[in-house]
């Protein structure tokens, strides 16, 4: 049985979210299909001809008395007819039946079960058609079958369908993107489907699209998807590994639409409230502080909102973030900045005291922070991020005796040296300084070793370096 998260229906903005599909559906409803010609050419049975003709004339009364036959006929027609205009008409008719009464989803499941027919197969097959309307109306029907009844979509079909939705979201200039996002909004309200979506790397796709310039409606829908995911405590705890907080903080700072502001604040609140580990909630608070969310909250506090949820969330988040600032150590601040991947010349980088006290802490959690710095040097194109990463690696090596060895093991030395030829003069300068620190550290280490050797020799107890 599907366990859907209860959310007010108006939050989904269904009409706005499916306008292209709905406009086309309105035109398709006015068509007249010559079912008699299909029967005469033996493309449909007489039984199906009578059922679809009666359904066209008096839908409600015929359906009430012949529900099993209607389900059987519609599944037959969808499975066996191929003409685009006819398939479009059948899909609109079927979608209207479900939209009028959600309980009909279970009727379809039960009848298909009795007929030993697979309800998913015909519509999954239609996802491969060339016609955009057929593809997206089939997808919409699949989402309703998966979410509005007592039966869940089988795992193999589920992975295929979620991968399809993910790919459609990532398709350039997809005129149906709002309809695709709407299907995903429905699917992710069901807890069983959330982990499957994460399994097809869905969160990364949402974040990648949100980091580009998309219209506010799509923005709202995709952030809604993140919001429903955060109702699962395990997913809420993992969410910022995908850089959700930095991306949403950026959108919040540029946001002009109240509903987008509301949904971002709701995500942030869940990221603090839902994780069961308090240290994760604390990390999320610090990440929000690092991404200048407190500044945005103070701006929002000056505005008046009709929506009480916004006011409540602003107050809640302001209090939590202010408290986290008071508890924030310089290393917490530094670690959060590195994990965010958004390095900047914040005061902590240039503090000699910080590096003396904390350089060795970059070794914690299997060199987590050091690995991130090396990864940023490999993948970032931002001059400031590259400059700061070079500087930090240089300071790590300077203040931690085994730093050069560790860095070589992680492949970091070679990557730093590659930036000696970077087009940005600031990056070249910081890379050169880091390389110098690597070399100076080596000389200092050799110097100390030579001093030790001299001391041993003075006292006649020099270590044996080889056989006599």
Residue 457 pLDDT: 57
Q: What is the mean pLDDT of residues 259-264?
A: 95
Grade residue 450 by pLDDT with cuts at 50, 70 and 90.
low
How far is 379 from 397, CA to CA, in rounded Å?
A: 21
% residues pLDDT > 90 (the chain): 69
CA Rg value for the chain: 30
Domain boundaries 152-327, CATH class: mainly alpha
Enter the tokens of residue 240: 């910022």
Q: Is the Cβ–Cβ distance between 44 and 38 less than 8 Å?
A: yes
Residue 117 pLDDT: 86
How far is 398 from 416, CA to CA, in rounded Å?
A: 15
Helical H runs in 327-402?
A: 330-340, 352-358, 364-379, 383-399
451: three-class secondary structure by DSSP: helix
pLDDT tens profile 74-87 = 999 999 999 999 99
Put residue 108 in one of left, alpha, beta given phi > 0 → left and psi -120 to 50 → alpha: alpha
Enter the tokens of residue 181: 């996002």
How far is 300 from 314, CA to CA, in rounded Å?
A: 7
Q: What is the mean pLDDT of residues 309-317?
A: 93
Grade residue 465 by pLDDT with cuts at 50, 70 and 90.
very low
Enter the tokens of residue 233: 């405590």
Residue 6 has pLDDT above 90, yes or no: no
**What's the residue count for the chain?**
468
Put residue 116 in one of left, alpha, beta given phi > 0 → left and psi -120 to 50 → alpha: left
Residue 326 has pLDDT above 90, yes or no: no
pLDDT tens profile 94-125 = 999 999 999 999 999 999 999 888 899 999 99
Residue 16 pLDDT: 46
Residue 456 pLDDT: 59
Residue 238 has pLDDT above 80, yes or no: yes
Residue 458 has pLDDT above 60, yes or no: no
For the domain 351-450, what is the CATH superfamily, name and number?
A: V-type ATPase, subunit H, C-terminal domain (1.25.40.150)
Q: What is the mean pLDDT of residues 205-231?
A: 94
Cβ neighbours of residue 248 under 8 Å, at least 6 residues apart? Answer: 210, 223, 226, 264, 267, 268
How far is 259 from 51, CA to CA, in rounded Å?
A: 45
Residue 201 pLDDT: 94
- Chain centre to alpha carbon of residue 257: 21
Detail the DSSP E strand segments found in 6-132.
none
How far is 457 from 167, CA to CA, in rounded Å?
A: 70
Top pLDDT among 306 and 243 is at: 243
In the chain, domain spans: 17-151, 152-327, 351-450
Q: What is the mean pLDDT of residues 364-376?
A: 96
Residue 409 pLDDT: 94
Q: What angle do CA 259, 146, 111 make, to 5 degrees?
A: 140
The single-letter DSSP state of residue 307 is: -
Residue 11 has pLDDT above 70, yes or no: no
Q: Is the Cβ–Cβ distance between 174 and 168 less than 8 Å?
A: yes
Q: Is the Cβ–Cβ distance between 374 and 331 less than 8 Å?
A: no
Residue 4 has pLDDT above 70, yes or no: no
φ, ψ for residue 329, nearest 5 deg: -85, 165
Residue 466 has pLDDT above 80, yes or no: no
Residues 56/61/62/63 CA torsion (nearest 10 deg): 100
Grade residue 467 by pLDDT with cuts at 50, 70 and 90.
very low
Cα atoms found within 13 Å of the Cα of residue 177, Cβ hemisphere only: 20
Grade residue 49 by pLDDT with cuts at 50, 70 and 90.
very high
How far is 146 from 151, CA to CA, in rounded Å?
A: 7
Q: What is the mean pLDDT of residues 21-28?
A: 92
Top pLDDT among 14 and 288 is at: 288
Cα Dmax for the chain: 112
Residue 439 pLDDT: 85
């Amino acid at each position: 049985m599907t366990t859907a998260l209860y959310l007010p229906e108006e939050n989904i903005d269904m009409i706005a979210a499916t306008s292209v599909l709905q406009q086309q559906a309105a035109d398709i409803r006015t068509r007249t299909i010559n079912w008699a010609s299909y029967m005469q050419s033996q493309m449909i049975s007489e039984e199906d001809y009578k059922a679809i003709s009666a359904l066209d004339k008096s839908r409600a009364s015929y359906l009430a008395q012949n529900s099993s036959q209607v389900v059987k006929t519609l599944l037959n027609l969808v499975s066996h007819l191929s003409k685009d205009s006819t398939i479009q008409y059948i899909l609109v008719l079927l979608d209207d039946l479900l939209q009028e009464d959600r309980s009909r989803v279970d009727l379809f499941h039960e009848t298909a079960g009795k007929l030993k027919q697979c309800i998913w197969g015909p519509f999954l097959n239609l996802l491969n058609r060339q016609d955009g309307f057929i593809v997206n109306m089939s997808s919409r029907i699949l989402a309703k079958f998966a979410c509005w009844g007592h039966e869940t979509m089988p795992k193999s079909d589920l992975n295929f369908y979620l991968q399809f939705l993910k790919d459609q979201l990532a398709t350039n200039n997809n005129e149906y993107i709002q309809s695709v996002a709407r299907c995903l909004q429905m699917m992710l309200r069901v807890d069983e489907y959330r982990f499957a979506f994460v399994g097809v790397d869905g969160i990364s796709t949402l974040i990648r699209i949100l980091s580009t310039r998309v219209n506010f409606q799509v923005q709202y829908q995709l952030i809604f998807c993140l919001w429903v995911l955060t109702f699962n405590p395990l997913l809420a705890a993992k969410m910022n590994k995908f850089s959700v907080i930095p991306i949403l903080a950026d959108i919040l700072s540029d946001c002009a639409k109240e509903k987008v502001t509301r949904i971002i604040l709701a995500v942030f609140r869940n990221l603090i409230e839902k994780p069961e580990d308090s240290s994760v909630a604390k990390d999320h608070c610090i990440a929000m502080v690092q991404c200048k969310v407190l500044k945005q909250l103070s701006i929002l506090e000056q505005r008046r909102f009709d929506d009480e949820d916004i006011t409540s969330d602003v107050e809640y988040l302001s209090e939590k973030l202010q408290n986290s600032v008071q508890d924030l150590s310089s290393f917490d601040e530094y670690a959060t900045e590195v994990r965010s991947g958004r390095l900047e010349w914040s005061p902590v980088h240039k503090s000699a005291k910080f590096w003396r006290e904390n350089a060795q802490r970059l070794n914690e959690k299997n060199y987590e922070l050091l690995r991130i710095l090396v990864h940023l040097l490999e993948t970032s194109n931002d001059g400031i991020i590259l400059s700061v990463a070079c500087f930090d690696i240089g300071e790590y090596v300077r203040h931690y005796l085994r730093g050069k060895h560790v860095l070589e093991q992680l492949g970091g030395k070679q990557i730093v040296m590659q930036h000696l030829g970077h087009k940005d003069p600031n990056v070249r300068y910081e890379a050169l300084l880091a390389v110098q620190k690597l070399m100076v550290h080596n000389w200092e280490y050799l110097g100390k070793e030579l001093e030790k050797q001299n001391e041993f020799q003075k006292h006649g107890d020099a270590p044996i370096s080889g056989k006599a």
